[in-house]
Amino acid sequence: MSKLLFKPMDPWDHQSVPPLSKHLREQLNGTRKYHGNCAYEAVPVSEALRIIDSGPDVNTAYHFWTVVERLSKKLQGQQPAPMCGHHVIDFYIKLLHDHFALDRASFYEDRYNGLQQTEDKTPSQLLADMRQCEPHLHAMPPDKFAMDFVHKLHHKIVPNVKNRWDIIAVTDWYGRISDIAKDADIAWDNYRREQHRRHHARQHWRRAQQLLR
């Protein structure tokens, strides 16, 4: 049986956890052929430990003995069902998620605070970026999230969007945020069209001035 190797993870931080989680499960699934093509749920614990042991450095907190130790403590005094490899893999992934919880929250909070609609981004794209951060924001009230979206829009369309939605209570904005984004997309498209029209008008005027000289 060939040694299972992990893909390089540098830097080793919260962003490494999702691809590592996928990789772990793929590796575990790949060992089914060594056990009579058994179901994924039936792969033995020994395979999971071998996979984890071939990963991050043994001197880090992510080495397999940490999983075994903590999993054993978790199960003390319980009468668990027979454990299989996927239980160990899932628990290991949970440990990693828990370990990087603060780093992950800080990363998404900083990203959220820095989000703003730029010239190359539509309002809907801005909302999608904000949605990615939302699950990691600590106690973010829905009303504030909705107001933040409007305030983060390009300053040229904020008045237009606010004029349309100020007639509705802010407490209802979050439930209508997709509609607000659609209206903002229209306002943004109109603004860009007007900018394009003015640009061509200026070019036409300059050419006309040159011909008159």
pLDDT at 66: 58
Burial (CB < 10 A; 0-12, 13-18, 19+), residue 105, is: middle
**Per-residue pLDDT at 3:** 45
Separation between Cα atoms, residue 128 and residue 18, nearest integer Å? 19
Structure tokens at 58: 């043994």
Which residues of the chain fall short of a pLDDT of 70?
1-12, 55-82, 199, 201, 204, 208-209, 211-213
pLDDT at 55: 63
Give Cβ neighbours of residue 28 (< 8 Å, ≥ 6 apart): 40, 43, 47, 48, 51, 85, 86, 89
Largest CA distance in the chain: 95
Distance of alpha carbon 149 from alpha carbon 163, whole angstroms: 15
What is the rounded distance in angstroms from the CA atom of residue 142 to the CA atom of residue 122?
A: 21
Give the predicted TM-score (pTM) of the model. Answer: 0.72
Alpha helices in 54-176 (DSSP H): 64-75, 85-99, 101-114, 123-133, 142-152, 158-165
